[in-house]
Amino acid sequence: MAISHQEAIKQFQSLMEDVDDSLKETFENMHQGYITETLVRFLKARDWNVSKAHKMLIDCLHWRVENKIDNILEKPILPADLYRAVRDSQLVGLSGYSKELALLTWVWQLKLRFAVAVRLDIAPSVGLPVVAIGVGLSTFDKASAHYYVQSHIQMNEYRDCVILPSASKKYGRPISTCLKVLDMTGLKLSALNQIKLLTVISTIDDLNYPEKTDTYYIVNAPYIFSACWKVVKPLLQERTKRKVQVLQGNGRDELLKVMDYASLPHFCRKQGSGSSRFSGNGTIDNCFSLDHAFHQQLYNYVKQQAALTESVSPIKQGSFHVDFPVPNPEDDRIARTIEVEFHRLGDQNGLIKPLNGLKVDG
């Protein structure tokens, strides 16, 4: 007999009360005071199976302790030129937040004024960070794989420790997820060289940052993506497929329904499809650039955290090594399917050449 979600949360909370002392501190750093929301994310990731969700969370806490994830925001990527090179080849940024609809503003004002309880289904979609990812133009060729993994985890931790708590405080409710806009401009068969690294990053997210994305918006999708999507989509779990929306062109009109113009990623602002690394007012409007406000805030935050610990132990240059997890069977199967489809497309067009496989453990 299936138990209710509330009962599952209650059982999960009871199990976590007995967590080892060695894991309690990292659990507190992870949930940032939102314990229930954290437990719900892991329950969703394991289809509300309490024992599986509990094992997943305990494994995550051990991973955090063993890899010193709580300290990763104290480890800047040095020198600065190397970090800029990472940013130029791993295109990720924060462009803004989902918009507060006028109706929602009026309802919350009504609630506060008359102390009435109002349930509004659109409330959870307001104030979510909008994360832009340049899938097609990311080359991952300016540094070792460890630097790209370090950078990715740092952005995850900054999101969870700074961005989401700030948004929760601003909107007066827990905000624990984000929206992602994936730009497929420039996607080519050479992306096969990045499959191993992308699978590592995906596995880290699946196992240790589950259910952090509310919706994935795919924009500027070329034919090669459409062909791969047809064969990959059936392999995805239903809850994942429901999150993915493939938009026409640069998706501008559809995205403006959930965010203001100012929050649109730069590659969605022009009429028609297509994007570039730098557009608008140079690098300032480009949320991928190190000169963008988000990356400057993140960069300065890491430098400040590093300065607090530097007196204890001098900062050493070099990447922050994290154990690369073994991909789960689902991720591995998807990666292999993409690889086969890319080769098929390449064979059809005579484009396949010997690939320099990226060694993520070398």
Which residues fall within 8 angstroms of residue 2, CB to CB, at 6 or more apart?
none
Closest CA to 59 of 20, 3, 29, 33: 20
How far apart, in Å, are the Cα atoms of 285 and each of 218, 268, 295? 20, 12, 12
Which residue has 């493939």 as its token pair?
Answer: 246
C-alpha to C-alpha distance for 113 and 128, rounded to whole angstroms: 25
Coil vs helix vs strand at 122: coil
Looking only at the bridges linking them, the beta strands covering 92-97 and 129-134 are: antiparallel
Which residues fall within 8 angstroms of residue 133, CB to CB, at 6 or more apart?
91, 92, 180, 181, 182, 183
Residue 16 CA, chain-centre distance (Å), reads: 25
Q: Residue 106: its pLDDT value, please?
A: 42
Stretch (H or E) spanning 8? helix 5-16
- pLDDT tens digits in sequence order for the chain, 362 residues long: 467 999 999 999 999 999 999 899 999 999 999 999 999 999 999 999 999 999 999 999 999 999 999 999 999 999 999 999 999 999 999 999 998 654 444 444 444 444 444 433 344 468 999 999 999 999 999 999 999 999 999 999 999 999 999 999 998 889 999 999 999 999 987 777 888 899 899 999 999 999 999 999 999 999 888 888 888 888 888 888 999 999 999 999 999 999 999 999 999 997 644 444 444 445 568 999 999 999 999 999 999 999 988 765 556 666 678 888 777 777 778 888 887 777 777 666 554 343 333 333 33
**Mean pLDDT over each residue of the chain, to the nearest integer:** 84
C-alpha to C-alpha distance for 97 and 254, rounded to whole angstroms: 15
List, as one string, the DSSP characters of 210-268.
TT-EEEEEEES--HHHHHHHHHHGGGS-HHHHTTEEE-STT-HHHHTTTB-GGGS-GGG
Q: Residue 109: its pLDDT value, please?
A: 47
Q: Residue 235: its pLDDT value, please?
A: 82
